[in-house]
Chains A and B, each alone.
Chain A
């Protein structure tokens, strides 16, 4: 089941630079997209979300972009900080599915000081 794909298992950036994490999906019924951050031995922590009626949502250093025609979303973190180092999961849900989340495999972000 590859409905949500994060093709980069890892990403390394310098502190202060922009981090861009990417996610692709195949299910056209998805209408709500979320990014979660996960530290080792902790559960996923909600970061930011976007509904399919928007193409951008911003919250502080975090911005999510949605390109519905390409079935692609991305998370931008700027400026990146060492504390942002974690696994980032893209997730999606579809109306009528009881909002169960379908997750990608995650991308390990490392921000180097």
Chain B
């Protein structure tokens, strides 16, 4: 069964450094998402992406964050200057389209640890 893959599985970065989290969505999917889960808290929506542009973003997704689909397969989340509070699990998800009854499929996540 096709799956969403994320790399790396664990990223340790010094505060203030830039980090790029990578995702390969399911190949025929058109909608891409990033979520995060801070330890002990809910999974939170960050951003949705369609047709090479952001379709919606949350309050969390400030100017330090950006997303890109640099080629036909990868979908990346960049944090420009990381803060301690960016430490979390980051999940990428994709779905075929926005029609109802199309669930999002998630990758296994990247654990980001900011020191």
Contacts of B98 in A (CB 8 A): 98-99
**Cβ-Cβ contact count across A and B, 8 Å cutoff:** 61
- Is there a chain B Cβ closer than 8 Å to A8's Cβ? no
Contacts of B48 in A (CB 8 A): 98-100
Most buried by B among A42, A49, A103: A103
Q: Does B103 contact A46, Cβ atoms closer than 8 Å?
A: yes
Q: Does B45 contact A100, Cβ atoms closer than 8 Å?
A: yes
CA separation between A15 and B57, bound complex, in Å? 42
CA separation between A95 and B101, bound complex, in Å? 12
Contacts of B4 in A (CB 8 A): 43
Q: What total of chain B residues lie within 8 Å of the partner, measured CB to CB?
A: 28
B95 in complex: contacting residue of A89, A99, A102, A104, CB < 8 Å: A99
Contacts of A105 in B (CB 8 A): 41-42
Q: Does A49 contact B107, Cβ atoms closer than 8 Å?
A: no
- Is there a chain B Cβ closer than 8 Å to A97's Cβ? yes
With A32-B100, A43-B106, A46-B105: A100-B33 Cβ-Cβ less than 8 Å: yes
